[in-house]
Homo-oligomer: A and B are copies of this chain.
Amino acid sequence: MAKMTPRTLSGFMELLPGPQQQMERIMETLRETYTLYGFTPLDTPIIEASEVLLAKGGGETEKQIYRFQKGDSDLALRFDLTVPLAKYVALHYSDLSFPFRRYQIGKVYRGERAQRGRFREFYQADIDIIGDGKLDILSEAEIPSIIYQVFTRLGLQRFQIRVNNRKILNGFYASLGLTEKSQDIMRTVDKLDKIGAEKVSALLTGEEIGLTEAQAREILDFIAIRGTNAEVLSALAQYQGRSELFDAGLSELTTVVQYLSAFGVPEDHFAVDLTIARGLDYYTGTVYETAMLDHPEIGSICSGGRYDNLAEYYTDKQLPGVGISIGLTRLFYVLGEQKMLNEHLNTAPADVLILPMTEDLSPAIALATRLRAAGVRTQLYGEQKKFKAKMNYADKLGVPYVVFLGDDEIQAGLVACKDMVSGEQTKLDFNATLERIQAGLNERSQGKVIVE
């Protein structure tokens, strides 16, 4: 028979069993943490009607969208989890209670140019809190505190959540009479890290934007405000009284900083950073980015912010909210590249491999049943192979324990068990063997998924 060469599309992550176990661990930590904070899981379709998905229209993403015809239907694959959330909330509005807190971990699709570390199918892990008409500022502090928890539980240490408030930026530009140019200015100022203050200044005073030297200097001075959170807030206080919007933003930011401490986020893990603007005009208040301190080249691994109107394309209801999103597939890829995935964690499919040494497999089956009932992941090996081949298999699988069950053991009511790391072999009764295995597994599962 002619064979088709098997392949996986480029830009699509397909993991081997070991890494997949690590990925599952990360997802499990995310689910656990989000759940602890009272977020309910959602699962929306991957395919939506194009007109629904693209109600907002235009934008960068439209070109990248997977869109196709099926029968009479014009369909598209979701490119984020926010638009489906907006649709969900508008559609099921009367069945939901607000504030509505949901998390969703799901695949999204963008037909980007294929390149290393860029994915066309990737997981996003989103949390959002949606209010009906109003939403208290508390949520704007809680959201990043959850992200702090998530990354800390995963084992990430050298990260920082950077917080700003769009009202501060917009209010500041308004006070300079530059509201209409604020989008252009922010886009330009965004390049500060890359091209330096001088070139930014040149661009700001250039023909296209056309600021005065004084305006450009004021903006660069403002953006250059640095220091501890208290220092930045106190520097910002000196701009007060020039714009209501600015003052509202500063008050919000001050509250968010105060509550972030109350939520137990250490000062070195969050920073007020006036350069954070987030591209989307969608955000209206607090905005977040998250940096891996030793890997600035990666960009933000978790971003989001406050918005005033989640579902304006679907409903007249005013639905303000705040949300944040982890680009999980890319993060996982980076962690792998940086050798930051904890290799000491057990990624074998089982904790124990039972090698029966008798023809009748019933005693081995009974033993497997007892181990599984005790919560031990157990694989029963039924193949007729030489002993050496069986041990090779155990080795390759990476199982921590191998159990041998021959006539001798069965008659004596004992279990022979080999610790595959230490090489130590014991012959004990079932309970003593189980205790030893559980103690060993417990020790091995202590570490976190990410090591730095």
List the 9 closest A-B pairs by CB distance, nearest first: A38-B379, A138-B382, A68-B68, A38-B350, A40-B349, A136-B382, A4-B55, A12-B45, A6-B314
Given contacts A42-B17, A43-B20, whether A68 and B69 have CB atoms under 8 Å apart is yes
A162 to chain B, nearest CB (A): 21
State the CA gap A428–B98 with chains docked (Å): 29
Contacts of A20 in B (CB 8 A): 40-43
A397/B97 in contact, CB under 8 A? yes
Tell whether A214 is near chain B: CB-to-CB under 8 Å.
no
Interface locus among A163-171, A174-182, A230-238, A358-366: A358-366
Tell whether A284 is near chain B: CB-to-CB under 8 Å.
no
Q: Taking the full assembly, how many copies of this chain does it contain?
A: 2
A35/B97 in contact, CB under 8 A? no
A8 to chain B, nearest CB (A): 6
Given contacts A46-B121, A68-B69, A88-B14, whether A383 and B136 have CB atoms under 8 Å apart is yes
B99/A383 in contact, CB under 8 A? yes
Contacts of A380 in B (CB 8 A): 38, 138, 142
A12/B101 in contact, CB under 8 A? no
Tell whether A282 is near chain B: CB-to-CB under 8 Å.
no
Q: Mark A220-246, 1 if CB is under 8 A from B, else 0.
A: 000000000000000000000000000
Given contacts A38-B377, A349-B101, A383-B99, whether A262 and B366 have CB atoms under 8 Å apart is yes
Q: Mark A365-391, 1 if CB is under 8 A from B, else 0.
A: 110010010011111111110000000
**19 A–B contact pairs at CB < 8 A?**
A3-B314, A4-B51, A6-B87, A6-B88, A6-B314, A14-B43, A16-B95, A16-B96, A20-B41, A20-B43, A37-B378, A38-B350, A38-B377, A40-B349, A70-B111, A71-B111, A98-B393, A259-B362, A262-B366
Contacts of A378 in B (CB 8 A): 36-38
Given contacts A377-B35, A379-B37, A383-B135, whether A315 and B111 have CB atoms under 8 Å apart is no
With A17-B41, A99-B383 already in contact, 17 other A-B pairs whose C-beta atoms are closer than 8 Å: A5-B314, A6-B90, A8-B48, A9-B49, A13-B45, A36-B378, A37-B377, A47-B109, A66-B70, A98-B393, A102-B349, A134-B383, A136-B382, A142-B380, A258-B362, A259-B361, A263-B369
